[in-house]
């Protein structure tokens, strides 16, 4: 190999070695960036909070009740009173269910009221009759409707303008004015019972209703913190309290549903982090392999450069010996 060729080869090897070193630096920087990503991913993993399943104990309370001789009362709230001037130590909320006779107002869609000489005959398929104040059942219903809805047309109407009909076992009432208003509202006079305006109707019946009160009371508490007896204000009667453990199933189920949702979110976050970590590891392995290849190539280049340098040195030595 001539000196010129050797020098050219040496320069090419030097340039290639420089490129290999630069690419190696780039690979190391890329691996450093991946290491930072891996650290951030690990920090994300540490920041995750594992959802905790709800315990029924968290939704279980001691519920007190007592029998006052008529109703079974259930206590829903006990708030301690401080320095009550009458000596009561708690404000107590309690309730019972009772049969209550009450009235209800409803709006009947397209009632199909049929009138003959301003006298209502039918509401739908139900025959209409005039209210009979001598009928105790009708009278009780009528009076209850008037008490519960004192400002309506029904309550202000004369009794001889009150009508009733029976539909599916329930007795409904309406006043003449409301019946006529629905009957006259049909948009097509040739079809007087179609598309009528809603009819205001009423009924009265017995239904279970929750009766709730809040009042002061004196409660006897034993050494374990359990309430033993209760005496309400304005009463001399003392009632023995029964205690039972009650779990709020609805609240517990809501908490369990939230836990299941949170667990799904947590598991997805874990899966995403694992997938991201696996991708980073695969990229790092690829870079590591490339770095090894570059190291091998650099060693080969270094070896070849040393060999070429020896040839150049030998050529230089031979040239100078010629002039001796």
Please indicate, yes or no, whether residues 124 and 209 belong to a single structural domain of this protein: yes
197 is written with which tokens? Answer: 């305006």
Supply the range of the domain harboring residue 123.
98-216
Please indicate, yes or no, if residue 111 is contained in any of the structural domains. Answer: yes
264 is written with which tokens? Answer: 């799904």
Please indicate, yes or no, whether residues 153 and 205 belong to a single structural domain of this protein: yes
pLDDT at 3: 62
pTM of the model: 0.53
Please indicate, yes or no, if residue 290 is contained in any of the structural domains. Answer: yes
Please indicate, yes or no, if residue 176 is contained in any of the structural domains. Answer: yes
Please indicate, yes or no, if residue 82 is contained in any of the structural domains. Answer: no
Contact 21, 298 (CB under 8 A): yes
C-alpha span between 193 and 184 (Å, rounded): 9
Please indicate, yes or no, whether residues 205 and 142 belong to a single structural domain of this protein: yes
Please indicate, yes or no, whether residues 277 and 211 belong to a single structural domain of this protein: no
Please indicate, yes or no, whether residues 113 and 176 belong to a single structural domain of this protein: yes
pLDDT at 97: 94
Cβ burial 145-177 (10 Å sphere, 16+ → b, else e) = bbebbeebebbebeeebbbbbeeeeebbbbbbe
Please indicate, yes or no, if residue 211 is contained in any of the structural domains. Answer: yes
75 is written with which tokens? Answer: 């206590």
pLDDT at 310: 82
pLDDT at 294: 86
Please indicate, yes or no, if residue 241 is contained in any of the structural domains. Answer: no
Please indicate, yes or no, whether residues 170 and 118 belong to a single structural domain of this protein: yes
Please indicate, yes or no, whether residues 133 and 38 belong to a single structural domain of this protein: no
Count up the domains in the chain and report the number.
Answer: 2
Across-strand partners of 100? 207
Please indicate, yes or no, if residue 171 is contained in any of the structural domains. Answer: yes
191 is written with which tokens? Answer: 């079809």
Q: Which of 216, 242, 265 finishes a domain?
A: 216
Please indicate, yes or no, whether residues 211 and 265 belong to a single structural domain of this protein: no
Please indicate, yes or no, whether residues 127 and 192 belong to a single structural domain of this protein: yes
Summarize pLDDT for 211-267 with one digit per residue, the tens.
999 999 999 999 988 999 999 998 999 999 999 998 889 999 999 999 999 999 999
Please indicate, yes or no, whether residues 150 and 42 belong to a single structural domain of this protein: no
Contact 205, 174 (CB under 8 A): no
C-alpha span between 174 and 129 (Å, rounded): 11
Residue ranges of the chain whose pLDDT lies below 50: none
Instruction: Please choose, from the candidates 173, 234, 243, the residue with its C-alpha nearest in 3D space to the C-alpha of residue 201.
Output: 173
Please indicate, yes or no, whether residues 211 and 258 belong to a single structural domain of this protein: no
Give the DSSP per-residue string, 111-135. Answer: --EEESSS-EEEETTEEPEE--TTS
Please indicate, yes or no, whether residues 193 and 301 belong to a single structural domain of this protein: no
Please indicate, yes or no, if residue 302 is contained in any of the structural domains. Answer: yes
């Amino acid at each position: 190999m001539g000196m010129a060729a050797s020098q050219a080869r040496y320069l090419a090897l030097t340039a290639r070695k420089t490129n290999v070193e630069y690419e190696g630096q780039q690979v190391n920087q890329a691996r450093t960036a991946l290491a930072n990503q891996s650290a951030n991913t690990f920090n994300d993993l540490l920041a995750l909070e594992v959802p905790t399943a709800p315990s029924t104990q968290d939704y279980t309370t001691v519920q007190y009740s007592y029998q006052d001789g008529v109703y079974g009362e259930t206590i829903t709230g006990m708030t301690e009173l401080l320095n009550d001037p009458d000596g009561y130590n708690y404000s107590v909320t309690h309730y019972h269910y009772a049969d209550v006779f009450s009235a209800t107002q409803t709006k009947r869609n397209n009632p199909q009221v049929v009138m003959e000489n301003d006298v209502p005959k039918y509401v739908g398929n139900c025959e209409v009759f005039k209210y009979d104040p001598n009928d105790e059942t009708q009278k009780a219903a009528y009076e209850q409707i008037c008490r519960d809805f004192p400002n309506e047309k029904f309550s202000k109407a004369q009794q001889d303008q009150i009508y009733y009909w029976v539909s599916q076992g329930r007795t409904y009432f309406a006043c003449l004015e409301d019946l006529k208003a629905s009957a006259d509202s049909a948009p097509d006079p040739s079809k007087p019972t179609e598309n009528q305006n809603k009819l205001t109707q009423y009924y009265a019946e017995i239904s279970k209703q929750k009766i709730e009160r809040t009042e002061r009371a004196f409660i006897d508490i034993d050494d374990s913190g359990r309430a033993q007896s209760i005496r309400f204000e304005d009463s001399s009667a003392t009632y023995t309290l029964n205690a039972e453990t009650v779990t709020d199933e609805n609240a517990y189920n809501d908490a369990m549903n939230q836990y299941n949702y949170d667990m799904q979110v947590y598991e997805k976050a874990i899966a995403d982090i694992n997938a991201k970590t696996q991708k980073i590891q695969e990229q790092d392995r690829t870079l590591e392999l490339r770095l090894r290849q570059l190291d091998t190539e650099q060693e080969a280049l270094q070896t070849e450069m040393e060999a070429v340098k020896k040839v150049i040195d030998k050529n230089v030595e031979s040239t100078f010996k010629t002039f001796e």
